[in-house]
Chains A and B, each alone.
Chain A
Amino acid sequence: MINAGAFVYSTGGHPAVSRQDPLVRHIRTHDMFRFLFSRLGLLIPTFFGVTLVAFSFIRLLPGDPLDLLAGERGIDPERKAQLMAQMGFDRPLWEQYLDYLLNIFQGDLGTSFASKKPVLDEFLTLFPATAELALCAIIIAVCLGIPAGIFAAVKRGSVADQAIMGTALVGYSMPIFWWGLLLIILFSGILQWTPVSGRISLMFFFPQVTGFMLIDSLLSGEKGAFLSAVRHLILPSVVLATIPLAVIARQTRSAMLEVLGEDYVRTARAKGLPPFRVIGFHALRNALIPVITTIGLQVGVLLAGAILTETIFSWPGIGKWLVDSISRRDYFVVQGGLLLIAGIIMLVNLIVDLLYGLINPRIRHN
């Protein structure tokens, strides 16, 4: 049966199965390919749907970039019509859409109105900043969340369990934009432990190799650069990690509880195996399957959170870029940015699906 109640908790979405079979080791490649193709088959219509949504959204937005840019000064209506035509907005809609699709497949997402640079270039320069932030957040969330969840499950009902789960629920209920402001007041304002914004201290200047400040700062060989990057990264990633951390801790606990109740775990216990072996080996391995799905689902949550976190910490990433572009009506940035972000989420979901299928063959046959 589907018991979605416990599962949907994370972000909802996946119709997950809450009972897991023990690992089956022999996976037939044939099966795996069929599974892969069926998933890809689902992805194609979704992809086209996403392009259509992104395409129609910018045409539905009221106002336009030209009026905004001209401001109080205003713009000559003739000049405006000419510029809109230059961007191709005077042609029939279907023609515009076909052009847009063709361009996508050539890697051309149009040009930013504000900066006059290709949207894809802008995305690629800003994406590493968001990726670095999101990866650090997810690492924090996993490294703290899974142990906390296991501990709470093993000590079920204890004060520690209640404290952990209480904290997790507070984290889950946190308006993170407010949380970020509070942390800034405390750590940057009163204690002055962390810098207020930015990715690295301005005294360091080295070429961007990977775009990941932590790696680039190490590559640069400059003393202190790495630590400076860490100090800049810590508050935003803690803020961004808050909700995924809470979700993962809760999910791990409930998955563990479920597995601990299974027959084979009981048997292992009855056989007198040491508790560490039971928990670490038998139970954890199976409990982790739904947790992996949860982690995958956090990508959307992280990208949504990045919008708020980047705004608060002036972090030069794609979240802030998109919000600014929406208010600036920078048509092609909004259109291209939506598509790219949706693409990332779909890709991650596909990977999670495949991983899940790999670990749990029963899904593949459904």
Chain B
Amino acid sequence: MTKNASAAAATQDTLEQESRNATKAMLLEFWYYFSQNKGAVLGLAVFVLLVLVALFAPLVAPHDPDVQYRDSFLVPPVWLEGGKAAFLLGTDAVGRDILSRLIFGARFSLFIGIVVVTIALVGGIVIGLVAGYMRGFVDTFIMRVMDIILAFPSLLLALVLVAILGPGLMNAMIAIAIVLQPHFVRLTRAAVLSERSRDYVVAAKVAGAGHFRLMFKTILPNCLAPLIVQATLSFSNAILDAAALGFLGMGAQPPTPEWGTMLAEAREFILRAWWVVTFPGLAILITVLAINLVGDGLRDALDPKLKRS
């Protein structure tokens, strides 16, 4: 996309300058399209807010999320009868402040999203590049392995993997990353296949570029757009799946204030204390929705085809 016909004749300086300009222009164009989508901007704002809350959780949270107030079991939210001003959203079964737990829970959810996406993305790109670039036996083998992973419902596979690795946040993240991996592999491979016969790749090859350079420096940057979109989607999927595993008792273990785990712990109070059930779920929904809104905006901004229509 940053091809510059006159580059060959230009001096090094102007080349760099122009490339910088081009990058800047591209980002500006991207932001222009992205900001056209009001939902996406709203989603981004909520997401940034969540990140800030997570980063400054100890400053924002009114209480320590693990401190049990023994005289305040299951206090309702402040606006209900019996609510206490100290506990805005009420307390749980052992007297911990729900709002503070939700705030600290944001850390876990974002952490899960980042770790899972990083593992799945890096792994997926490497494997996909290798498959698409090498073709032949390697390709066939890799794609069959991906088919096998995709033949299982993702949550079921993650569940079995966690059962094998042992319940816990870290293992849940590994399991989810493995389950999400094939999407990145397929995407990267498909993009590589469509790019590898393009003129610029052939030109680089003729110019004597090595395999490594061809894979990572020449082809990869041109496949990034769909990967970024997929990464955003995986981010929200990771949060949902981790919460589902937590809900089934196989994710983060109590007393970790992970939202899905909080829901699982709260389930027995569904009739008596609706707030312990409602708020963690709402937190998951808002976070995932915000990320999906951003994902939609990214897709629209990065996808030249939909831009036109």
Contact = CB atoms under 8 A, between A and B. Distances in A.
Check if A and B associate.
Answer: yes
B191 interface: yes
Task: Kindly name the residue among B152, B236, B302, B309 whose own CB sees the greatest number of chain A CB atoms within 10 A.
Answer: B152
Interface stretch (A7-15, A27-35, A218-226): A7-15
A5 B303 contact: yes
Interface in B119-176: 144-145, 147-148, 150-156, 159-160, 163-164, 166
Task: Kindly name the residue among B160, B247, B267 whose own CB sees the greatest number of chain A CB atoms within 10 A.
Answer: B160
A93 B215 CA distance: 40
Contacts of A50: 148, 151-152
B83 interface: no
A175 B152 contact: no
Contacts of A92: none
Query: Main SS of the interface on chain B?
Result: helix
Contacts of A42: 144, 147
Contact of A181 (B160, B190, B267, B303): B267
Interface string B268-288: 001100100110110011001
Given A8-B183, A307-B159, 17 more contacts: A5-B230, A6-B299, A9-B233, A9-B299, A11-B183, A12-B187, A12-B233, A46-B147, A46-B148, A62-B164, A169-B296, A170-B285, A182-B281, A257-B309, A300-B153, A323-B159, A345-B151
A187 interface: no
A327 B247 CA distance: 14
A172 B237 CA distance: 10
A1 B194 contact: yes
Contacts of B145: 49
A8 B230 contact: yes
A261 B267 CA distance: 49
A342 B164 CA distance: 19
Contact of A5 (B144, B153, B229, B288): B229
24 contacts: A5-B229, A5-B230, A8-B187, A12-B186, A13-B183, A42-B144, A46-B151, A50-B151, A60-B164, A173-B285, A173-B289, A173-B291, A177-B247, A177-B263, A179-B281, A181-B267, A185-B274, A189-B271, A258-B309, A304-B154, A322-B156, A338-B156, A342-B151, A346-B151
A165 to B, nearest CB: 8
Contacts of B240: 173, 175
A77 to B, nearest CB: 23
Given A12-B230, A184-B270, A308-B155, A172 B292 contact: yes
A175 B151 contact: no
A6 to B, nearest CB: 6
Nearest to B305: A3
B277 A323 contact: no
A178 B281 contact: yes
A177 B244 contact: yes
Contacts of B296: 169
Contacts of B148: 46, 49-50, 53
A5 B277 contact: no
A4 B190 contact: yes
Contacts of A254: 306
B164 A261 contact: no
Given A5-B299, A12-B186, A61-B163, A175 B147 contact: no
A6 B270 contact: no
A311 interface: yes
Interface string B222-235: 00011001100100
B195 to A, nearest CB: 9
B238 interface: no
B62 interface: no
A177 B248 CA distance: 10
Interface of A: 1-6, 8-9, 11-13, 15, 18, 42, 45-46, 49-50, 53, 57, 60-62, 166, 169-170, 172-175, 177-179, 181-182, 184-185, 189, 254, 257-258, 261, 300-301, 303-305, 307-308, 311, 322-323, 326-327, 334, 338, 341-342, 345-346
B295 to A, nearest CB: 9
Contact of A49 (B147, B285, B303): B147
A258 B194 CA distance: 21
B39 interface: yes
A182 B280 CA distance: 12
Given A13-B186, A175-B288, A326-B163, A166 B303 contact: no
B246 to A, nearest CB: 10
B244 A8 contact: no
B110 interface: no
Contact of B302 (A5, A169, A179): A5
B191 A2 contact: yes
Contacts of A2: 190-191, 193-194, 226
Nearest to A44: B144
B302 A175 contact: no
A45 B140 CA distance: 10
A328 to B, nearest CB: 11
B289 A178 contact: no
B243 interface: yes
A311 B267 CA distance: 12
Contacts of B103: none
A326 B193 CA distance: 40
Nearest to B186: A15
B293 interface: yes
A342 B152 CA distance: 5
Given A173-B236, A311-B248, A61 B164 contact: yes
A175 B244 contact: yes
A18 B306 CA distance: 11
Given A2-B194, A4-B190, A326-B160, A178 B285 contact: yes
Given A6-B306, A173-B285, A345 B244 contact: no
B151 A174 contact: no
A266 B236 CA distance: 37
Contacts of B274: 185
